[in-house]
A and B are shown apart, each in its own frame.
Chain A
Amino acid sequence: MIDIALKIALACVALAMLLNLWSLLKGPTAPDRILALDTMVINAIAFIMLFGIFADTTVFFEAALLMAMVGFVSTVAYTKFLLRGDIVE
């Protein structure tokens, strides 16, 4: 039962990442692209967690935690650069 659920969810998240890639390519302005990248990072975290359950190991948790932190910091850095023209003032 878990196997089928994991396969369905992995397919859903993979499709979601493809949709994110499309809206990253399409997005007319820079904030659209930042939003698409941010969503892509969140979907990647979901994918990593699902793959950790699938492979029955806990070593991927650190990767997910790192991706959460790096994704948030990079989103804030991108938007701050758009807002102020500078990141570290």
Chain B
Amino acid sequence: MKIRTPLALASVLLLVSVGAFASGDSDEASSDGPVPLILSAWGGQEVADFYAANAAEFSRLSEGRVDASFRHITADYNQKVQAMIAAGDAPDVFLLGSSNAPLWWRKGLLLEVTETVHEHGLLDDSKWYSSLFSSSRDGDTFFGLPDAMNVFLLLYNKTAFDKYGVEHPTEDWTWDDVKAAAMQLTVDENGDGVNDLWGFNIWHTWSMWYQVFLWSWGAEWAIDAHEADTLPWLAGKDWQKGQMVDSGAAAALRWLQDGIYKDEFIRPRVGATVAGEAFQQGLTAMDIVGTWYLETTILVDDFEWDIAPIPRVGKGDPHVTQMTVSPWVVNARTEYALAARELAAFMCCNNFVMETMRRDTPLSKEVAFSDAYLKIPGAPPSYQLRVDIIDMIEHPRYWNRQIPNGAEIEQALNTEMEKLLINSQSPEDTAANVDKEVARLIAKGWE
């Protein structure tokens, strides 16, 4: 199904109508030639080609008024963009991790895009997943336009489930169900003392994984105290302390620790490498993953797999997932503010861009449910769940750092979780220590 929204055309018309390329203000360009814009993002070569094509399409639609080009930053992305900003040579528009965007905004590095959001009607919830904009929002001000979203789901190896006679996960699954299945699926087939398959997996040293896991246990880390649709990450209602103790967190932590040392169905720590590849190698039967991981899992042909909602504590408990949204942001020092904002809007919300992306869920509801997005060769039967889950959850929860010292808090969470997972600290102490660190680091304020 081919979908056309007027956004692209509107973008260009808007630019023309407000004289974006004429003169004055900051945009002003030039009668000598098109406005040069640099777009940057991370990713592999395939992704880079995709962004380069988007930039070319934006240039084409501008009918010669804009010459947007893509500058690929392959590694050490944040550090390089930081250096570019410091040197005055940063891209006009660039993708920024949601975890860093609030900090960069507070440091005055990003241009406000509030008008752009309103002008394009991006807060119309009937057409867009508008709540996603909250992840790049400071009060009534927007400082980024979401690229797309990722949600977390339960990924399971169907072939292994069938082989060992375990029923497939359902929407009603609880963590008790996961444990029962995982114990059946932890198997040493040839009796050599090495498990050929583990029931469940942890993504060690990755705080985001811990957060979504803890939320699913009812740990009330994220409370809608700030904005009805913006949930602060990790902090409690008063934004002054953590929320580990007052919640189901201790039970969740106990489940993890017992899963490794007592019941032995969780694959133990293997260095710092993110363990997601273990599922694709057929070493683990279940995993909690973000939807970007599905793109490469589709290429696996050794076994069949599918996705299910993240389990809960009780069957009637609300579904939980976490959304990660990386925004397109505009460099505060760009010479072409208006054109740059429109390029960001194009990257965020244009159908040409959204229809060709595979990795993340697009912001347009129409595109998200379209065949162009969902009918992908090799996709599992429940593939549409990656979109449906957004309507199944009561509150969207975002991974961002709208609290002071977010990166340090995240590191503190990792460290305390490590103590738990090497069995040197109890779940109760882990919860208490995380809360203590969160409180200490928030109290230091924005520096």
Check if A and B associate: no
> Chain B residues in contact with chain A, CB under 8 A?
none
Interface, chain A (partner B; CB < 8 A): none
